[in-house]
Structure 1
Amino acid sequence: MSDSLKKYSFSDLLKQGKIRIPKIQREYAQGRADEKVEEIRKVFVHTLLLVVKGKRPATELDFIYGSNRKGAFEPLDGQQRLTTLFLLHWMMGMELRVAEDRKHSVFTYETRNTSEEFCDELVQHDALQLVKEALAVSKKQCKDLPPSAIIKKRDWFKWEWKYDPTILSMLVMIDAIFHEMGEDWNMDMATCRQNLEHITFHLLNLGDFGLSDELFIKMNARGKQLSDFDKLKSTLEEELQMQQKETNEQGLPLATEADEEMWRSMMDGAWIDLFWHKYARQAIIDTESEDADARKKRRLAAAKLSEVQFKKLLLRLIALQLLENDNTSKQLAEAAYDMRESNIDGLLFAYTDSLTELRSGEKHAVVPTTTPTLNFKQLIQDVCSLICEDSNGIYFEISYLLPDTSHIEKDKRTLFDSFLDTNVPNDVELTFYAMLLFLRAFPASKTRKNEQELAAFHFDKNLHRAWLKNLEAWVRSARNILLNDNNNQRIDKLQFSKEATFSLKQMVKDLATYVHEEGLNLEKDRHAVKKFLKDGTKNYQRLDNQSLAEERLKAALSLLDDEWEERIDEVEQHPYLWGQIRCLLNWSDNHLDAFKKYSERLLGMLGCIKDYSLTYYIAMLTFMPNCWEENNRLFLYNKDRDNSFKRYLREHTREGQAYGKNIKALIDLWTDSYPAMSAIDFLKALIADRQENCAPWIQCLVKCPTILDEAWNKRIYSQSGHVIIAQRKTLNGHCLDPILLYLRNVCQKDKIENDRFTFYDSKGEYEHAFQLQTDNHQYLVEWYGTEGEYSIKTDHETAAIVFAQQDMIEHMEKIIHGCGLAKGSQVTAMG
């Protein structure tokens, strides 16, 4: 932590000089006679006095920040806490008069003359003497007489002070401290005063950062505390003003007055209007018929949401700026990388902290190229590029014009919406960044309503259809390349994300170069982006180049034939595939008719996998018994990056091998041998036709498919010829024998009492075994060696008998079905 943020006590702060509450601040409020405030005051004073009494080692009051002006520290946040600390120190008998003249208080209010006079007068009097007097009178009269009552009766207490809300609040706080001390006023006050040093706060002196006291200038007429959004707004304005005093190494100012004018105009104009229209306008309309309280509550919530979303946009755009800058330090990059709503506020602290050393000296006007600073021109351009206005004066964001097929998920949330989610994953952030890069390189043609407007926002989509098609093609391709469940290239770490960021910048540069060299116009040629993709050959670091190759092939096919474009668009919209169709392109060998047939079959099969997964798994095992061996799994219908059908459909392990080869083979069989059947009927027919020729463990699954539910992520292993299903990622955990699980299921189905059969897994008393108690005998079935056999040991045989798998299953089925178990018998331990 920098020196500017070290811990201070109230007396530490006074060592630097006076404390003055500036005019822009509101009245002292912690002493208000309000139930909510009273509860807050009670808890706060109790906490402070625990430290004063030595019952608590210390307490920290968070951040207090402000700046030095005219020989005094003026708090811009922390006024309430500092005022309470002033009163607490006075009550404990601290000397709080200015040493030079002893006529003025070291702590004063500039908000009203009366408040200033009261502070100066108060410190002239001994608080502990007032306390003694109040205690004595209270004891004598047997009723409470607070110090405030005594103060108000003093001849030095002016009549007009009774109407100053700050003074009245101070008197309430004095009484609160008096009552909270209670019987402890007889403590050693010297010790109490020493304990005051353990009440600390972090001091942020804005002067150390080159900032002025305008941070909190945005106050309403009642002096209401700024919202988080207003604080951000003012902080950025301060930074903008600071940059006007700074130059780069070429002598050019980092920002200009024109930038500030544009910034203020946009912040209070089109930008906030966008968020108001998007998040609050409809809520206001919807609440017209509600009662006043409900209407007010919902409208306030809508207004707050507008501000929160606006704040997130600004901070995340700033984060993108820092991440795309080669010179951003690791510490600052880490702050920019953490875009979670709960943490994004820390970005500006990290940013200002990164400039502390540069701006702490008297001469810091020249900012080196290697020092990242906010680029306000770029930030203004970026926000403006996202905003459009229709003919009715309603503002909307640009991705609203794109079809649902360009969204991150198959829902109604635009890319803009996804970027402003509470948490924004790397793939969403980078897809949004790709759109932003496109808007920078090929800005939309917008018009002004009149000459007075500083920026143009009116956008008629009907006049820019070609440009919108190019934007759609770019965003969809970027989404398909970057989406976590569409690629095998990790972008889930800071370094990976930065590498992908730089590659996207290069890709847009390559697009701009291509457009220029080919003489293309994105406003006239709707296929410009697809032409770039078709002709591209370059690979890019950290982008999934297999997905990029798929986008290039889709672009090439779409340019060949409009029907290709229609079919690709149609299949890509499937909620599970969602942009990933390379298996279909591979299977069809770029033939449209084959593509249509495979598409129809695959979508049907995926629907069946989703709704009848066990039927699919059993059918696949009867059709291709070793289908699990290559990956030790059957895959899941989810969007997991590593263990999903989607992953299987986009990879092949050997050159020339089809993507998702087992599913392709299954679909080929369906097409060739069962063409008229639905997917589910085909799978059932396949199971019926092939189950007799399957391995015994698969036949057990056919009879009892729910056995597969015992397998974690549908993982299957072979251990010394023994097929087992796993309950963890590896064989180190509990593993289960599917044949023995089947025997357990037979017992359960025959309603045999649970205490008569026992299943043992790989970690059981017997490794992979099944024990059964009948009327007459006990049976212990165990996996036997490596030849795919089982042994059965009974209590009346001296040695175990070895069975082939199918023979053992049939033998035990007969015993279970016809054993005539005696109720209440117990399985006894066998040696």
Structure 2
Amino acid sequence: MSNNPTSKKLNFLQLVSNEEAIYENETWQPLSKIEIPIIQRDYAQGREGKEELRENFLKFLLEAVNGTPKELDFVYGSVRNKILQPLDGQQRLTTLFLLHWFVAVKENKLNDELKNLLTKFTYETRTSSREFCIDLINKGIIYNPEQNISTLIIDSSWFFLSWKRDQTIKSMLTMLDDIQQTFKDETEVWDKLNNISFHYIELQNFGLSDDLYIKMNARGKPLTDFENFKAKFEQHINKEGWESNAEATETFSHQIDTLWTDLFWNYRDKTENVFDEQLLNFFRTMAVINYTLKAPKDDKFRRMIDLLRGGQKVSFNQYLDLGCFDEDYFKTLKLVLNKISDKSGLKTFLSDTTYADERDIFTGAIKNNLGYAELLKLFALYQYLACENDIDKVNLQNWLRIVRNLVEAHRLYYDNANTFADSILFLSKLIPYRNRIVEYFKDSVNPEDKGFPKFIIEEEKTKANLILQNDDWKNAIIEIENHGYFNGQIGFILDWCKDENGIYNIDKFKEYTEKAKAVFSNDGLKNFDNFLFERALLATGDYLLSIGRNYSFLISKGRNERDISWKRLLRDDNKQRKVLKSLFDNINPTTLFQDLEKIIADFSDKNDWRYYFVKQFEMIDNCGSQKLARFNDNNEFDILLLGSTMTSGFHKEYYSYSLFVELKEKLSLDESSYKDQKSVDYWKYFELNGQQIAFDCKTGKFIWTINNDWDNKQEYDDREKVILELTGESY
């Protein structure tokens, strides 16, 4: 007997018929049965998550039915007692079995002779799977094109509901539904099924032992998502001819199995020792970038960006349909991975993370969790790496500095895909000038260009102009730019250091820089006890920012950072920023606290609504985490201190609470004595010896009632009289 494999080209019916299908004693002999062995895995092509595999395979089979003969991969088998047990090909053979059964039923071809042939295909894996196949053939259904074929089968009297728990049967039902959808409009298909063939190889001639057969079958785990993706990507590369001239050691196939594997291995799941998800996410992140650059910015664009950035699985075909995987994508991906891959992990190019944290960017890419601002930094970094053979670190740093400044100035506004797209398209136009970006920005960038707000671009042009003047300006600008809170946004200092002729003064710039560093930490406004800075600033002028119907004393970071943060005040050239400049003009970093205290002490206008906010820190302290107050524009006396964003939450009334604060220590009042409320319609007041003291914002008078009888109240025009009545002392 020959030890060389012998193959024969067959179709499915030839394999199960009495035609020669087994090579034994150097001749082909009839096959009695095809039996899926018990050590094989369940039928998997119909499983959830295999939609793309089914779609591709059925399209392939449909092409054969439509007149293009198709050959499947080899089917390997081992024969015992004229029973073929497939070693490789179980999945394909099962799908062919189901296709032949469906077409026979649909075209009324399922006679007794064909039933006998099809019953030669059976499963040893489970009794339920075997019996299902037998009943499917012999008892079957009456085909109705208006119903899913799985429904017809499940509703049949012969179908046991317990079979739904059999993974192979579940997969068969799913595949039959997909076969029905693919072939429902095809006619006279039966004879055309002969166009589908494969090469059968009898492995018994290899002298395989039972142990080796079992070991080979034990590998019967389905290919991982990564293995499927990799194979399809390689096919796509070859089909498009993107590597026709590449050295063998530089091809995608070689790199992904060697150099790139060394990189991703360092970021593997150490429990399972796999990095499939990490590598697929990197490809996905790069696809987000390419799709954003190429796709029309229509209604579909935002939905597809959400899909690509989300957690839902994206099939290879979907990537192709969206145009993500084109030659530009492939070249950039390959160049970037070659640059950043190293056995010891990620190869980085900058010594610090001031402008871009290369490790955080890569980690975010392999987790698919980068925000829009970080995606822009990834784009800028990786585009630069892809464009350069030798990385000039100074030029790279200059490039990333400009990108950091633009992105961070606009960060709070990256709340949708279109804003992100505008910015990435703007940056893509700068790529050709990456190695002289400061000069290009100064001379050639148009502030009206779409991508970033005009004032952001103008600030960068101003800085570029000053930086190119001399090193003194360059060093001063870069130092304060890199302050952790300003993060490149220093337009307020540039504005303040101009003289009356619009000339920038370096000494003034440095002076305001020192004051800014004295007031702001990397996290925002420094922690001034008892709101010392806010009160001194309010004494200087009304600096509050609005959010809806409310006004805020400002926060450093938080949910409403975009609307009521110090960043917004520093960014917008408006009256509030002018108030801050006035305060800065009256403070010195070496005597900062004394200066602030003096400004507060000098504020003396009791008729100004700001008075008690300035004089009593408790007033701001009771404005909640977002430091919110509500003012009625039509009534100067109607001011509420909000514990939350709405008046449906607990809140206090300004004048009654300021009186309470003034008397609290003197009369030993407990904080619980003040009754805040959850409605503007209820009185806010404090209690003292059975009396209720409140302020009527409608009349501008304090009121005094006993035992909550608000219809019988005493009114006071003068706050001092109230204090005298309550304390027995003159004010």
TM > 0.5: yes
Contact map agreement 1:438 1:471 (CA 8 A) in 2: yes
Cα distance in 1 between the residues matched to 2:407 and 2:351: 18
Alignment gaps of 5+ in structure 2:
1-11, 17-33, 62-69, 76-85, 102-109, 137-154, 183-196, 199-215, 499-503
1:142-541 matches, cutoff 5 A: 189-190=157-158, 192=160, 200-201=173-174, 222-244=219-241, 256=244, 258=246, 262-276=251-265, 279=267, 299-300=270-271, 303-304=273-274, 306-326=275-295, 331=300, 334-340=303-309, 342-343=311-312, 345-346=313-314, 348-352=316-320, 372=323, 374-376=325-327, 378-385=329-336, 387-388=338-339, 396-398=346-348, 400-401=349-350, 403-407=352-356, 413-440=359-386, 442-445=387-390, 467-483=392-408, 486-487=409-410, 490-509=413-432, 511=433, 522=435, 528-538=436-446, 539-541=448-450
Cα distance in 1 between the residues matched to 2:315 and 2:476: 45
Aligned-pair RMSD on alpha carbons? Answer: 5.3
Cα distance in 1 between the residues matched to 2:396 and 2:291: 25
1:123, distance to aligned residue in structure 2 (A): 8.8
Cα distance in 1 between the residues matched to 2:114 and 2:47: 31
Cα distance in 1 between the residues matched to 2:719 and 2:505: 46
Cα distance in 2 between the residues matched to 1:101 and 1:309: 49
Aligned to 2:562, what secondary structure does the other structure show? coil
The sequence identity of aligned pairs, in percent, is 18
Q: What does residue 584 of structure 1 align with?
A: 493
Residues 358-380 of structure 1 deviation map (CA, whole Å, 9 limit, x = unaligned): xxxxxxxxxxxxxx362245423
1:770 to 666, 685, 690: 685
Indicate how the Cα distance of structure 1 residues 661 and 259 shifts in structure 2: closer, same or farther if over 3 A, else same. Answer: farther
Indicate how the Cα distance of structure 1 residues 690 and 752 shifts in structure 2: closer, same or farther if over 3 A, else same. Answer: closer
Cα distance in 1 between the residues matched to 2:672 and 2:441: 67
1:627, distance to aligned residue in structure 2 (A): 2.6
- Residue 316 of structure 2 aligns with an amino acid whose one-letter code is L
Q: What does residue 616 of structure 1 align with?
A: 532
Cα distance in 2 between the residues matched to 1:316 and 1:783: 59
Q: What does residue 64 of structure 2 align with?
A: none
1:602, distance to aligned residue in structure 2 (A): 0.8
Aligned to 1:100, what secondary structure does the other structure show? helix
Q: What does residue 739 of structure 1 align with?
A: 655
Indicate how the Cα distance of structure 1 residues 667 and 29 shifts in structure 2: closer, same or farther if over 3 A, else same. Answer: same
Indicate how the Cα distance of structure 1 residues 124 and 385 shifts in structure 2: closer, same or farther if over 3 A, else same. Answer: closer
Indicate how the Cα distance of structure 1 residues 704 and 125 shifts in structure 2: closer, same or farther if over 3 A, else same. Answer: closer
Contact map agreement 1:431 1:479 (CA 8 A) in 2: yes
Cα distance in 2 between the residues matched to 1:120 and 1:762: 68
Indicate how the Cα distance of structure 1 residues 26 and 692 shifts in structure 2: closer, same or farther if over 3 A, else same. Answer: farther
Indicate how the Cα distance of structure 1 residues 384 and 727 shifts in structure 2: closer, same or farther if over 3 A, else same. Answer: same
Cα distance in 1 between the residues matched to 2:585 and 2:445: 33
Cα distance in 2 between the residues matched to 1:381 and 1:813: 78
1:646, distance to aligned residue in structure 2 (A): 0.9
- Residue 102 of structure 1 aligns with an amino acid whose one-letter code is N
1:681, distance to aligned residue in structure 2 (A): 4.3
Contact map agreement 2:640 2:654 (CA 8 A) in 1: yes
Residues 272-325 of structure 1 deviation map (CA, whole Å, 9 limit, x = unaligned): 22333x536xxxxxxxxxxxxxxxxx8446x43x44332211111122222211
Cα distance in 1 between the residues matched to 2:366 and 2:567: 27
Residues 68-92 of structure 1 deviation map (CA, whole Å, 9 limit, x = unaligned): 4768999999969x89x99xx9xxx
Cα distance in 2 between the residues matched to 1:77 and 1:669: 84
1:28 to 34, 40, 53: 40
Aligned to 2:694, what secondary structure does the other structure show? strand
1:124, distance to aligned residue in structure 2 (A): 10
Cα distance in 2 between the residues matched to 1:703 and 1:628: 17
- Residue 492 of structure 2 aligns with an amino acid whose one-letter code is C
Cα distance in 1 between the residues matched to 2:90 and 2:658: 70
Aligned to 1:388, what secondary structure does the other structure show? helix
Contact map agreement 2:226 2:277 (CA 8 A) in 1: yes
Aligned to 1:487, what secondary structure does the other structure show? helix
Aligned to 1:779, what secondary structure does the other structure show? strand
1:347, distance to aligned residue in structure 2 (A): 5.7
Q: What does residue 676 of structure 1 align with?
A: 590
Cα distance in 1 between the residues matched to 2:697 and 2:325: 71
Residues 138-186 of structure 1 deviation map (CA, whole Å, 9 limit, x = unaligned): xxxxxxxxxxxxxxxxxxxxxxxxxxxxxxxxxxxxxxxxxxxxxxxxx
Indicate how the Cα distance of structure 1 residues 789 and 542 shifts in structure 2: closer, same or farther if over 3 A, else same. Answer: farther
Q: What does residue 727 of structure 2 align with?
A: 814
Q: What does residue 556 of structure 1 align with?
A: 465
Cα distance in 2 between the residues matched to 1:124 and 1:491: 56
| 2:484 is the counterpart of 1:575 | yes
TM-score (norm 1): 0.59
Indicate how the Cα distance of structure 1 residues 716 and 378 shifts in structure 2: closer, same or farther if over 3 A, else same. Answer: same
Cα distance in 2 between the residues matched to 1:269 and 1:101: 51
- Residue 541 of structure 1 aligns with an amino acid whose one-letter code is K
Contact map agreement 1:583 1:650 (CA 8 A) in 2: yes
Contact map agreement 1:790 1:803 (CA 8 A) in 2: yes
Contact map agreement 2:336 2:385 (CA 8 A) in 1: yes
Cα distance in 1 between the residues matched to 2:301 and 2:608: 59
Residues 110-159 of structure 1 deviation map (CA, whole Å, 9 limit, x = unaligned): xxxxx7999999899899xxxxxxxxxxxxxxxxxxxxxxxxxxxxxxxx
1:532, distance to aligned residue in structure 2 (A): 1.0
Cα distance in 1 between the residues matched to 2:403 and 2:673: 60
Cα distance in 2 between the residues matched to 1:752 and 1:337: 56
Cα distance in 2 between the residues matched to 1:336 and 1:793: 62
Contact map agreement 1:621 1:698 (CA 8 A) in 2: no
1:619, distance to aligned residue in structure 2 (A): 2.6
Contact map agreement 1:387 1:396 (CA 8 A) in 2: no
Contact map agreement 1:25 1:223 (CA 8 A) in 2: no
Residues 569-595 of structure 1 deviation map (CA, whole Å, 9 limit, x = unaligned): 222222211121111111222322222
Indicate how the Cα distance of structure 1 residues 752 and 224 shifts in structure 2: closer, same or farther if over 3 A, else same. Answer: same
Cα distance in 2 between the residues matched to 1:691 and 1:618: 17
Cα distance in 2 between the residues matched to 1:97 and 1:552: 83
Contact map agreement 1:320 1:433 (CA 8 A) in 2: yes
